[in-house]
Chain A
Amino acid sequence: AQSVSQHNHHVILSEAASLELGCNYSYGGTVNLFWYVQYPGQHLQLLLKYFSGDPLVKGIKGFEAEFIKSKFSFNLRKPSVQWSDTAEYFCAVNSRGGGNKLTFGTGTQLKVEL
């Protein structure tokens, strides 16, 4: 069975600081990887996704993520965060051939202070 770990549960940063949120998954086969964001009181929105090809994926709002197969990781990064990036961030994985099920990590609460 696939699973996802997000080790940072709460992160507090000042505006303009750099961000890196960790995501590790456990599954031996080929996977699709996603990052979703949930702003306060809102639904989840897709930030970026990886299927194949270039392991460095660029998403919306200046976010990017790097797939490192040997480390089973898909960390999310942003060089300079803004107050409006305050939100909950979820990593998710789907195993190829695993059907339509996305398995989510437990989320990381990011708070950006002015």
Chain B
Amino acid sequence: DTAVSQTPKYLVTQMGNDKSIKCEQNLGHDTMYWYKQDSKKFLKIMFSYNNKELIINETVPNRFSPKSPDKAHLNLHINSLELGDSAVYFCASSQAVDYGYTFGSGTRLTVV
């Protein structure tokens, strides 16, 4: 069983489109995250939800909107996609950060 699963794995889309990435975890963790990994492999946190409540919202354009319908799901919707949004987006979850994160396999987004 996959602990943290993301869909889709690959996403190629045109500039200006709107797209969503879904994430689900079956670990019973309370907290979920979205991280962006750029072309230089740098990982930067975007959002964090704890029990459906937004607790971390880094300086991310408001074209990015996370949604957590329940504590096992955290989706990421992106409006008006731009070339600079091309990256790998990782979902992760944790029970407490002391135990580290469990990461999903990533979604490679390519905006053309």
Interface residues of A (CB under 8 A from B): 32, 34, 36, 38, 42-46, 49, 51, 88, 90, 94, 99-104, 106-107, 109
In the complex with contacts A43-B106, A45-B103, A106-B42, A100-B94 CB distance below 8 A? yes
User: A43 contacts B104, CB within 8 Å?
Assistant: yes
For the A-B complex, the count of residue pairs with Cβ-Cβ distances under 8 Å equals 60
Chain B residues whose C-beta falls within 8 Å of the C-beta of A38 in the assembled complex:
41
User: A100 contacts B100, CB within 8 Å?
Assistant: no
Chain A residues whose C-beta falls within 8 Å of the C-beta of B102 in the assembled complex:
46
Interface residues of B (CB under 8 A from A): 31, 33, 40-45, 48, 50, 55-56, 90, 92, 94, 96-106
Q: List 14 A-B contacts (CB under 8 A).
A: A36-B100, A42-B105, A44-B103, A46-B100, A46-B101, A46-B102, A49-B100, A51-B98, A99-B97, A100-B55, A104-B42, A104-B44, A107-B42, A109-B41
Cross-chain contact of A32 among B42, B92, B97, B106 (Cβ < 8 A): B97
**Given A34-B100, A103-B45: 17 more A-B contacts, CB < 8 Å:** A32-B98, A36-B100, A44-B43, A44-B90, A49-B100, A88-B41, A99-B48, A99-B97, A100-B31, A100-B33, A101-B45, A102-B45, A102-B97, A102-B100, A102-B101, A104-B42, A109-B41
A110 to B71, CA, bound (A): 36
The 7 A-B pairs with the shortest beta carbon distances in the complex, nearest first, are A104-B43, A43-B103, A100-B97, A44-B103, A46-B100, A43-B105, A107-B41
